[in-house]
Structure 1
């Protein structure tokens, strides 16, 4: 059972609370519709229940708040708004990425795509999906962990009548198996037709909590819809017979050939039309909303927008005739938990689109294009040649590419928030951070080494082996290249994570050589009573290091790299960004 008790949102500025002391429940084995006009507070109610907005009150999912459920992905499936995701990712790749985050088998992605009717479009990119396909993918995302409760915000918005019928069948199939379904809608007729219980709210307050039959009887008014080429004649005849029989009958001309009659029935109207020789094309019992009608809606009668002045119609609900749709197979095992969940997610997130491979290819091409002319001039040292790093550039191409990949790691996360709506599938914040640090670090190191190898091979091929001798301190050079690329990748990642934008991550990378390094050099070069000069030699003389024979030169090179201003500036920048990331994360967490 899903229970919402005293939900109240935090008012913004001088505005009243969007949700004010709202209490209701959604029972297992039934579909509950949260009904309200646009702006009534339906979406805010769902976000309060899921802990995505500030406010008071509590929501219990089978007796427990969401943050105390060990496996939230098995308890609640969420669809809020459009399905977020990188437009270049395929539908199958999107679900497999979320499977990794949720800890469920990757094969479930294919099962869900078949259930929601997207099996033939599994390799279609998200940017090419229509609105109906997007909603189907959102339903698949909500069903990912085989949850007991479905919380859906306007799942039928923009769907055709056929797709809406399929959606309602799927929701009822979930309820038949003992699940709980809560979805929002602004259409009273859809709520009467598709839900077992209707909770009506207005301005964030509870108006009514009724079963579907009671709701239909109190909110929806029975009527008869007529289509005839002689609408005026039939309306006049119906009015005259009603006055003669002293019956309360209301005839409304909806424009053109349509009439709506309240207070009569199909047999009575048919007999009147027969007696007066009026041709009738359509005669059907329907129900109409007696309350406020949303501004924009489509007619379920013929799937075309109604003409101006025309009411929107719907068939009488027939609960016994509801059709159910197939559901995906149940998950037998609990979702896997552990440090590999966010790592698998990050790997599929990074390599599910072509951005990282394209950046790597561009880095190699630029590095080669810079290294070959530098070698011809003969003014650049060997270390600069292999890294393709002239004095004109603040960073070598490999380091800039690594920084961009790191910035996109969190930049794309906030630009295309695949995990935003599904709170139960999000790995722990620090777990996701460490996974991103690990994956981007490995990619950055490989990119730096690959660029150095490619530059060295190209230089040997063009200018001969004598032009590029193997440095005697190549391990230290490799460590320096790797450390620089690793630091840039992490600086970009943390910068984008703190400011939630890719550009901020790239700025953090460029700021290190442009701003931080000159400041560090100025500090180190200033007057001091105890200068740092000779630190490397003094460290070398420490006897307790226990160095193996032959490692003096390597250790000396590493120590010199570690004490360079660039390394100090990068370490300071990373420390500041990491503290800022933790501070912003803890501050957001404390707000809840």
Structure 2
């Protein structure tokens, strides 16, 4: 992948009006949800789980946090615009060049998604701090060393950023399968449900079906109710994200999606 491809994709993405509309919408919606969640926090010390839900704007009815959905929409719209307004004629775009362009979009959208995740966390943290009631003690969560002292908060925020990057790349790839931005967005929203169902099955099979800290380690408030609702006694420790089997379960949908996209490009004459 050359610098020219990345520069081309960056110019193309930044030149789309929809890019800036999506970014502004995500920031506004994130801030509104963060303020609403912060106002619902009960009096007393602010827990890590409540802080994560607020600064990531994780709404239980959505399959992904708002920033991740926005990143996926950016990816899908980026590919959809390429389909409607191709930069090169089909006769000039061989298979290898199409693959480079496709993954150039993934890299550029992924970088923008990472930046979006960082900005939304910062904005939501400020909004949360201002919206918390006077009876809520947030001194421990918002302490200067809260992110560098270890614990679940930095892990959850790191996973949130990875999730946003993955959603941005998945938005590009799902749109490339359907050659439609709308269909790609719908397919992207279905992926978390399938992923979390597979993860829940894995946890049950390995005897850790009810990890108490699952909702704090992974800020996906949608499907982890299935994990916590499993039968048997709860396991008190957090999920071991270094477990090779768990990593394989999490990475397998992404690998499968990439392989399907590569095969699909073999059967096409244009991106």
Distance (Å, rounded) in 2 between the aligned partners of 1:517 and 1:565: 15
Aligned to 1:355: 18
Aligned to 1:329: none
Task: State the 1:419 CA deviation.
Answer: 2.2
- Equivalent residues in 2 for 1:440-479, closer than 5 Å: 440-463=109-132, 466-467=137-138, 469-470=141-142, 471=146, 472=149, 473=151, 474-479=153-158
Which of 342, 346, 353 lines up with 2:9 in the alignment? 346
Higher relative contact order (CA 8 A, sep 6+): 2
- Equivalent residues in 2 for 1:14-25, closer than 5 Å: none
* Residue 399 in structure 1 maps to residue 78 in structure 2: no
Distance (Å, rounded) in 1 between the aligned partners of 2:245 and 2:26: 25
More strand by percentage:
1
Given that residues 498 and 577 in structure 1 are in contact (C-alpha distance below 8 angstroms), is that contact kept between their aligned partners in structure 2?
no
Which of 410, 418, 441 lines up with 2:87 in the alignment? 418
* Residue 509 in structure 1 maps to residue 180 in structure 2: no
- Equivalent residues in 2 for 1:21-420, closer than 5 Å: 339-378=2-41, 381-420=50-89
Task: State the 1:345 CA deviation.
Answer: 0.8
Which of 578, 581, 586 lines up with 2:261 in the alignment? 581
More helix by percentage:
2
Given that residues 520 and 568 in structure 1 are in contact (C-alpha distance below 8 angstroms), is that contact kept between their aligned partners in structure 2?
no
Aligned to 2:252: 572
Given that residues 72 and 185 in structure 2 are in contact (C-alpha distance below 8 angstroms), is that contact kept between their aligned partners in structure 1?
yes
Distance (Å, rounded) in 1 between the aligned partners of 2:246 and 2:73: 19
Closer/same/farther in 2, CA of residues 453 and 428 from structure 1, 3 Å limit: same
Which SS does the other structure have where 2:20 is aligned?
helix
Closer/same/farther in 2, CA of residues 562 and 415 from structure 1, 3 Å limit: farther
Task: State the 1:523 CA deviation.
Answer: 4.3
Task: State the 1:428 CA deviation.
Answer: 1.1
Aligned to 1:496: 175
Given that residues 107 and 169 in structure 2 are in contact (C-alpha distance below 8 angstroms), is that contact kept between their aligned partners in structure 1?
no
Which SS does the other structure have where 1:487 is aligned?
helix
Distance (Å, rounded) in 1 between the aligned partners of 2:242 and 2:35: 29
Aligned to 2:240: 560
Given that residues 99 and 265 in structure 2 are in contact (C-alpha distance below 8 angstroms), is that contact kept between their aligned partners in structure 1?
no
Which SS does the other structure have where 1:588 is aligned?
coil
Task: State the 1:371 CA deviation.
Answer: 1.1
Distance (Å, rounded) in 1 between the aligned partners of 2:256 and 2:51: 33
TM-score, normalised on structure 2?
Answer: 0.72
Structure 1 unaligned blocks of 5 or more: 1-337, 534-555
Distance (Å, rounded) in 1 between the aligned partners of 2:75 and 2:246: 19
Q: Pairwise CA RMSD of aligned residues? A: 3.2
Distance (Å, rounded) in 2 between the aligned partners of 1:374 and 1:565: 34
Aligned to 2:228: none
Distance (Å, rounded) in 1 between the aligned partners of 2:246 and 2:185: 17
Task: State the 1:561 CA deviation.
Answer: 4.3
Closer/same/farther in 2, CA of residues 499 and 447 from structure 1, 3 Å limit: same
Distance (Å, rounded) in 2 between the aligned partners of 1:456 and 1:440: 24
Closer/same/farther in 2, CA of residues 426 and 523 from structure 1, 3 Å limit: closer
Given that residues 517 and 569 in structure 1 are in contact (C-alpha distance below 8 angstroms), is that contact kept between their aligned partners in structure 2?
no
CA deviation map 1:454-484 (0-9, x unaligned): 0101121233794372344443233211111
Given that residues 341 and 427 in structure 1 are in contact (C-alpha distance below 8 angstroms), is that contact kept between their aligned partners in structure 2?
no
Larger displacement relative to structure 2 (492-501 or 564-573): 564-573
TM-score, normalised on structure 1?
Answer: 0.35
Closer/same/farther in 2, CA of residues 569 and 362 from structure 1, 3 Å limit: farther
Structure 2 unaligned blocks of 5 or more: 43-48, 209-236
Distance (Å, rounded) in 2 between the aligned partners of 1:403 and 1:565: 26
CA deviation map 1:490-536 (0-9, x unaligned): 1111111122111232123211222331243134314xxxx365xxx
Distance (Å, rounded) in 2 between the aligned partners of 1:567 and 1:378: 33
Distance (Å, rounded) in 2 between the aligned partners of 1:564 and 1:367: 33
Distance (Å, rounded) in 1 between the aligned partners of 2:26 and 2:123: 11
How many residues are treated as equivalent by the alignment? 226
Which SS does the other structure have where 1:381 is aligned?
helix
Distance (Å, rounded) in 1 between the aligned partners of 2:249 and 2:179: 23
Distance (Å, rounded) in 2 between the aligned partners of 1:402 and 1:345: 19
